[in-house]
Amino acid sequence: MPRAFVLVNAELGYETTLADEMKVVPGVNDAYTIYGVYDILLKVEAPTMDRLKEFISTKIRRMKGVKSTLTMLIMEE
C-alpha cells in the first residue's frame, strides 16, 4: 500500500483549522501542525499509487486554505 508524507503550506490563519479537518479525512493517517517553511505534515496512504496521486490532487490540494503541497513517497517503514 503506497504511503507518503505530504507537507502543506496553508493560507495565513488556516493552519490549525486545516490540520483538524485533515485529521478526519479517510486516507490521512496522521496530521500535525508544524513550524518552519511548511505548516502541516500529513502521513497519507491509498490502495494504489494512482489512487494516492488522485487523493492528494483531489482531496488535499483542493481544500480551502491550502496554498501548496510537497509530497514525499515513503519507500520503506
pLDDT digits (tens, 9 = 90+) for 57-74: 999 999 999 999 999 999
Which strand (E) or helix (H) includes residue 49? Answer: helix 49-55
Q: Hey, what CATH topology would domain 3-70 get?
A: Alpha-Beta Plaits (3.30.70)
Q: How far apart are CA 15 and CA 1, in angstroms?
A: 28
Residue 10: phi and psi, rounded to 5, are -110, 155
pLDDT digits (tens, 9 = 90+) for 25-66: 999 999 999 999 999 999 999 999 999 999 999 999 999 999
pTM of the entire predicted model:
0.93
Query: Domain residues of the chain, as ranges?
Result: 3-70
